[in-house]
């Protein structure tokens, strides 16, 4: 079968002929892959800055944002059947008995760093015609989400971030609204970055009831203002509005959801985080040496304004279930905005274009099956 293989030692990647996997265990599920999203992590891997093949393999099959259709199930699988759509989780636990996170099924909090990740680190990914995965790592997707479910994995970043946010903000008892009242009502959120992670995070914040501002540069030819307006967020262009001016426009910033990976921007915005505010960091900058920050002001604010900074890496199975539920909500409320996140679709043989070229737009995906 066809798969996208990255050969780090030879510094090349190409479509390879990989043996088609088969069901080995009673809980295995075989999927025909339909779509695989491409993100910054994939681009880093094909620049050989990141990622490792499985032990004994010269290449790593790329891809971690995916949607597949079940074609065969092991004898003990009851939750899925052929014809079902499913999205696999990505991270698998480390083997250390002392890792409370992994032993508790929460490898997104792994202490040892010995976890593996499909399509990234030590395990083949999903840019292949077929994959086999344990049923417990798969999340059933309703058929009506066929066209957008490839966005579930990038949305899990926001899902875990928001779960963490509300757990942390339980320290503010008055933010616990009634059951029918959105938790973010009356609060203001700033999203840094208008890429797929930022826009999906902004949708989640709007769904939670926040007055949501997206602060971003605009890639040429994009209409981020129109897009944000399409789901009830406000767009603030970073080309013409400084961070200080943006903060002036927003007022008390209750939450910042960072989705740029740009540390200098993040710590500049952190200076304007509001009283009792939370700053959620999701981006992973490359290490380029120390940079100056206004440390006295940051520390002073963090103490005097009861601020918290939350770093978050995705994601648990629960975050995937939350993302599937929420993408359904987004799609129902804002079908056009959700659909317009996917700007390019490429067949697997043209994978070089979105990975190594510059396809532009917001989200490129590979259509496989």
The single-letter DSSP state of residue 128 is B
Structure tokens at 232: 């009830």
**Selected binder of Zn ion within 1, 39, 217, 321 (CB under 5 A):** 39
Q: Tell me: does residue 168 bind Zn ion (CB under 5 A).
A: no
**Is residue 359 a contact point for Zn ion (CB under 5 A)?**
no
| Minimum distance from residue 115 beta carbon to Zn ion (Å) | 6
Residue 260, CB half-sphere, CA atoms under 13 Å: how many? 22
Neighbours of 315 (CB within 10 A): 26
Of the listed pieces 40-48, 120-128, 141-149, 229-237, which binds Zn ion according to CB under 5 A?
Answer: 40-48
**3 lies in the site for Zn ion, by CB under 5 A:** no
Which x/- pattern, by CB under 5 A, does the window 41-60 give for Zn ion? x-------------------
Could you give the 3-state DSSP secondary structure of residue 85?
Answer: strand
- Based on the shown chain and the rule CB under 5 A, indicate whether residue 110 belongs to the binding site for Zn ion: yes
The answer to whether residue 67 forms part of the interface with Zn ion (CB under 5 A) is: no
**Distance in angstroms (rounded) separating the CA atoms of residues 181 and 167:** 17
Q: Which of 60, 87, 94, 138 binds Zn ion (CB under 5 A)?
A: 94
Q: Are 336 and 161 in contact (CB under 8 A)?
A: no
Contact segment (CB under 5 A) with Zn ion among 106-114, 179-187, 260-268, 288-296 equals 106-114
Least CB distance to Zn ion at residue 41 (A):
5
112 lies in the binding site for Zn ion (CB under 5 A): yes
What number of chain residues touch Zn ion (CB under 5 A)?
8
Return the bridge partners of 31, or none: 70, 131
Beta bridge partners of 133: 29
Residue 59: exposure state from Cβ atoms within 10 A (0-12, 13-18, ≥19):
buried
Task: Give bridge partners of residue 132 from the DSSP assignment.
Answer: 30
Part of the chain binding Zn ion (CB under 5 A), chosen from 97-105, 224-232, 317-325, 351-359: 97-105
| Contact status, residue 127 vs residue 109, Cβ threshold 8 Å | no
Q: Is 102 in the site for Zn ion (CB under 5 A)?
A: yes
CA distances in angstroms from 301 to 86, 164, 176, 274, listed in the order given: 44, 21, 24, 9
Residue of 67, 73, 80, 99 that binds Zn ion (CB under 5 A) = 99
Tell me the window of 35-43, 166-174, 271-279, 289-297 that interacts with Zn ion (CB under 5 A): 35-43
- Select the span of 95-103, 121-129, 160-168, 343-351 touching Zn ion (CB under 5 A): 95-103
Cβ distance to Zn ion smaller for residue 94 or 199: 94
Q: Which stretch binds Zn ion (CB under 5 A): 90-98, 123-131, 197-205, 235-243?
A: 90-98
Q: CB 98 → Zn ion: shortest distance, Å?
A: 9
The two three-digit tokens of residue 197, written as one number: 């992670």
Determine the straight-line distance between the first and last CA of the chain, rounded to whole angstroms: 12
Cβ distance to Zn ion smaller for residue 196 or 277: 196
Minimum CB distance to Zn ion, residue 85 (Å):
19
> Helices (DSSP H) in the chain: which residue ranges?
40-46, 100-103, 152-168, 196-207, 224-230, 243-250, 263-270, 295-304, 317-333, 335-339, 352-356
Q: Which residues bind Zn ion (CB under 5 A)?
A: 39, 41, 65, 94, 99, 102, 110, 112
């Amino acid at each position: 079968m066809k798969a996208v293989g990255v050969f780090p030692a030879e510094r090349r990647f190409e479509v390879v002929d990989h043996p088609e996997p088969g069901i080995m265990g009673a809980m295995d599920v075989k999927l025909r892959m339909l779509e695989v999203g491409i993100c910054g992590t994939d681009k880093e891997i094909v620049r050989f800055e990141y990622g490792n093949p499985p032990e004994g393999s010269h290449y790593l099959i790329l891809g971690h944002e995916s949607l597949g259709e079940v074609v065969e199930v092991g004898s003990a699988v009851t939750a899925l059947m052929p014809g079902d759509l499913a999205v696999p989780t990505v991270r698998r636990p480390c083997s250390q008995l002392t890792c409370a996170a992994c032993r508790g099924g929460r490898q997104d909090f792994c202490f040892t760093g010995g976890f593996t990740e499909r399509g990234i680190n030590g395990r083949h990914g999903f840019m292949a015609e077929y994959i086999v995965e344990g049923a417990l790592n798969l999340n059933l997707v309703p058929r009506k989400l066929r066209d957008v479910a490839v966005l579930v994995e990038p949305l899990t970043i926001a899902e875990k971030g928001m779960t963490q946010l509300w757990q942390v903000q339980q320290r503010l008892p008055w933010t616990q609204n009634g059951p029918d009242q959105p938790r973010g009502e009356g609060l203001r959120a700033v999203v840094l970055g208008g890429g797929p992670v930022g826009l999906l995070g902004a949708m989640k914040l709007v769904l939670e009831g926040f007055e949501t501002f997206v602060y971003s540069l605009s890639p040429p030819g994009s209409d981020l203002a129109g897009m944000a307006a399409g789901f009830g967020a406000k767009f603030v262009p970073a080309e013409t509005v400084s961070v200080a001016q943006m903060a002036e426009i927003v007022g008390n910033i209750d939450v910042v959801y960072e989705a740029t990976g740009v540390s200098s921007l993040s710590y500049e915005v952190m200076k304007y985080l509001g009283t009792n505010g939370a700053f959620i960091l999701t981006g992973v900058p490359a290490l380029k040496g120390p940079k100056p920050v206004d440390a006295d002001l940051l520390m002073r604010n963090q103490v005097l304004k009861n601020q918290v900074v939350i770093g978050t890496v995705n994601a648990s199975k629960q975050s995937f279930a939350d993302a599937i539920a929420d993408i359904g909500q987004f799609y129902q409320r804002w079908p056009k905005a959700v659909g317009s996140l996917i700007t390019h679709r490429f067949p697997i043989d043209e994978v070089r274009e979105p990975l190594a070229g510059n396809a532009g737009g917001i989200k490129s995906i590979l259509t496989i099956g």
